[in-house]
Amino acid sequence: MNRFMTRPSIALSRRTFLKGAGAALALPWLEAMLPQRLAAASTNPHPIRLAALFMPNGVREDQWTPTGQGSEFELSPTLKPLEAFKNDILIPTNLWNKGSDYGDGHYVKTSGFLTCTTINKSLGYDLNSNGISMDQIAARSIAQKTPLPSLELAIDPVTIGVDTNVGYTRVYGSHIAWNKPTRPLAREINPRLVFERLFRINNPISTNNISDSLLLDRVLADAKQLRRRVGTSDKARIDDYLESVRALERRIEQTSQSEGQPWSPRGEIRPESKPERRPDEHPERVRLMLDMIALAFQTDSTRVCTFMFGNAVSNTNFSFLEGVNGGHHSLSHHERKEENLKQYQRIGQWHIEQYAYLLNKLKSFKEGESTVLDNSMILFGSGLRDGNKHSPHNLPLVLGGRAGGRINTGQHLAYDKDTPLSNLYCCILDAFGAPVDRFADSTGRLKGILS
């Protein structure tokens, strides 16, 4: 028997509800909901999910790389929180992002992280990534299968102004997801609002007291006020930016209003689980956002997500960690001082601990004989290796999940120096079911990753 599937004893509609006492409760996905002809033909009936988690400021490089290669490897101190997931992860080393090896600082490394392109050097009037991000290629391939084509999440609000040290608009440092070269996708930074959006699309006829207002409606007044203060070209850019938000909201409205949509949630979203507020403490905000990713994937509200732990040059104070006393960006410029390096390493390890938290959550969600993690690809990485060098060589990367058996996990794979990062993205898109002949500067698929 295939490890991903057992034979259903009955056939159920995916729109089956449990009804009673005036309530209708959506069932989680069951194998009995899979059409018999598809069950017979498919080796993995479950949807493949993709998330990209971005960490700013790089890592302490001498504490990152595992020892050993292939399946015979030992995790480094920074990666040690992933010990329980050694068989679920793949660690590729010696990959670099050639497109971001341009200009100074962090901005090129951030906005180009998922595009593998060189962004325009801009003060804000000609924003251009010169490419579409890998996550959006995946999202386009399954756009009609879920209410949300993709979900973009972050912790920090969009940073504005110009970093005069390097001559780039700070807006570049706030985005990794681009659905057009000139259009970065709007991100949600409040976990409560993310929950409300997910609840709304999973409960289109609900009469609960969760606000039904759309994200764009909430910010429209501020947007109109801003438009009055900027020039004609900026007005057009604001309109273009807000349209990317409205496009997602239209999808939600269409799903809510249409009787004939084949989509139905794979699990229940309980209103009492809604976060009470946007927490003040950074660790709690991060955990809630990771919970939202897990909830979105579990319910199949979306299959593509990006999350930014912080914007470029993020100087979040990590004094909540024992032995750390300072901001992330400041400590990343460690000047090779051991006192700073220890704190820098601890911050990197904390981020890996949060990554492990998400992997564990996804692994706890069962799908037949597999789990949501088994049917996902969760990429963790930074756009530069060491914050003190600003180098895009040998990027710190981890890929978690097997993509339904399409990814060979449980390995540390060391490639030739300066192998294109885009080659990894070609593998990810293949495993997702959205193959491309070439992505950015790719030269082929990485060996050893795809089954």
pLDDT in tens, 16-55: 333 333 333 333 444 444 444 333 334 668 999 999 999 9
Q: 31-35, 296-300, 316-320, 412-416: which has the minimum mean pLDDT?
A: 31-35
Q: What is the mean pLDDT of residues 103-130?
A: 88
* This prediction's pTM: 0.80
Write down the mean pLDDT value for the chain: 83
pLDDT at residue 160 greater than cutoff 50: yes
pLDDT at residue 77 greater than cutoff 80: yes
* Structure-model confidence comparison of residues 313 and 407, the more confident one: 407
* Structure-model confidence comparison of residues 67 and 233, the more confident one: 67
C-alpha closest to that of 397 among 132, 66, 72, 84: 66
pLDDT at residue 313 greater than cutoff 80: yes
pLDDT at residue 397 greater than cutoff 60: yes
Rounded Cα distance between 294 and 91, Å, is 22
Q: What percent of the chain has pLDDT over 70?
A: 74
Rounded to the nearest 10°, the torsion over CA 169, 184, 189, 390 is: -50
Q: 73-77, 109-113, 236-240: which has the minimum mean pLDDT?
A: 236-240
pLDDT at 372: 96
In contact, 404 and 48? CB cutoff 8 Å: yes
Phi-psi label, residue 335: left if phi above 0, alpha if psi -120 to 50, beta otherwise: left
Rounded Cα distance between 179 and 262, Å, is 25
Residue 395 vs residues 96, 148, 243, 330, 359: alpha-carbon distances, Å: 6, 30, 33, 20, 21
Give the residues across from 380 on adjacent strands. 53, 398
Q: What is the mean pLDDT of residues 73-89?
A: 98
pLDDT at residue 210 greater than cutoff 90: no
pLDDT at 262: 62
Rounded Cα distance between 89 and 257, Å, is 40
Q: 130-139, 167-176, 259-268, 360-369: which has the minimum mean pLDDT?
A: 259-268
Rounded Cα distance between 6 and 434, Å, is 27
| pLDDT tens sequence across 274-306 | 666 666 799 999 999 999 999 999 999 999 999
Q: What is the mean pLDDT of residues 134-153?
A: 94
Q: What pairing do the DSSP bridges indicate for beta strands 397-400 and 89-96?
A: antiparallel
Beta strands in 275-375 (DSSP E): 304-308, 366-367, 370-371
Local confidence band at 222 (pLDDT 50, 70, 90 cut-offs): low
Q: Which residues contact 164 (CB under 8 A, 6 or more apart)?
A: none
Q: What pairing do the DSSP bridges indicate for beta strands 178-180 and 168-169?
A: unpaired
| pLDDT tens sequence across 323-370 | 999 999 999 999 999 999 999 999 999 999 999 999 999 999 998 889
